[in-house]
């Protein structure tokens, strides 16, 4: 039985998470019905078994080792960004992402020790890193979308949608590679002119108000946050290639 103070090598936790994601084709979060099938749960079970053999004989592919190195650099970059911001702005208040994820995960990486109860949190950095790499493919401009405070129409493509508590967070990109994000209730029907039944890959005209343009703590990308009423004026759907992919 796992004890709360049992520790595993952090590099193994992250590399095994990468392997599990590669094997499953996705990072699986825990849910109420199938928590045992989540990526963190499977990684924890693997570590419990391998700890009996002192983690001897474990070998990973060059690709996973390379990704692990990139994740270490990614976490280190997030940590340094946070430290620099705190130094330049004494009134700066750390985000929950920095306080609850970046700092403790970096400590685990530096010490190469991850307690059993921390496996889920350490494994989650793989998901954050994969999101960052995914958004990088679309973002080739560091300019804001529109003018802050001025409501207008924008033609965008939906590239990501995730549920967070009782709302969904949407990520969009313009034709010239500028990223934007907004929150909306997931059950609102798109036919009413609001976000709802929108699929990743859909291209649409949205009427929104840019509220701020900043460095995202979660995705480490520059993006515009839209606020106020989110109106989908026209959903033109997906390209033929995306519909059949």
Global confidence as pTM: 0.78
How many domains would you assign to the chain? 2
Question: What does the alpha-carbon distance between residue 200 and residue 238 come to, in Å, rounded to a whole number?
Answer: 9
Tell me whether residue 147 is in a domain: no
| Residue in 110, 83, 134 with CA at minimum distance from that of residue 14 | 110
Same domain? 158 vs 115: no
Per-block mean pLDDT, blocks of 10 residues, the chain (245 long): 74 97 88 68 93 88 97 93 84 83 96 95 93 87 91 94 82 94 68 65 92 76 87 79 49
Do 122 and 233 belong together in one domain?
no
Note the pLDDT of residue 245.
47
Does the residue 145 lie in any domain? Answer: no
Q: Return left, alpha or beta for 178; rule: phi > 0 is left, psi -120 to 50 is alpha, else beta.
A: beta
Last residue in a domain, options 104, 136, 168:
136
Range of the domain at 57: 7-136
């Amino acid at each position: 039985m796992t004890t709360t103070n049992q520790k595993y090598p952090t590099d193994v936790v992250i590399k095994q998470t990468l392997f599990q994601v590669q094997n499953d084709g996705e990072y699986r979060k825990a849910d109420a019905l199938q928590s045992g099938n989540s990526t963190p749960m499977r990684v924890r079970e693997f570590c419990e078994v391998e700890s009996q053999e002192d983690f001897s004989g474990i070998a990973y592919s060059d690709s996973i080792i390379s990704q692990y190195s990139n994740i270490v650099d990614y976490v280190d970059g997030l940590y340094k960004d946070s430290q620099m911001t705190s130094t330049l702005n004494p009134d700066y208040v750390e985000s929950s992402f920095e306080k609850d994820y970046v700092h403790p995960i970096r400590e685990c990486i530096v010490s190469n020790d991850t307690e059993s109860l921390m496996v889920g949190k350490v494994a989650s950095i793989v998901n954050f890193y994969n999101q960052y790499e995914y958004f990088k493919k679309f973002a080739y401009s560091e300019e804001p979308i529109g003018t802050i405070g001025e409501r207008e129409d924008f033609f965008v493509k939906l590239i990501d949608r995730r549920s967070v508590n009782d709302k969904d967070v949407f990520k969009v990109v313009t034709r010239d590679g500028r990223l934007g994000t907004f929150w909306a209730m997931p059950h609102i029907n798109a036919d009413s002119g609001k976000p709802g039944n929108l699929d990743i890959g859909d291209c649409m005209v949205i009427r929104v108000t840019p509220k701020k343009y900043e460095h995202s703590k979660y995705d480490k990308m520059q993006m515009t946050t839209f606020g106020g009423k989110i109106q989908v004026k026209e959903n033109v759907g997906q390209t033929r290639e995306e519909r059949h992919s």
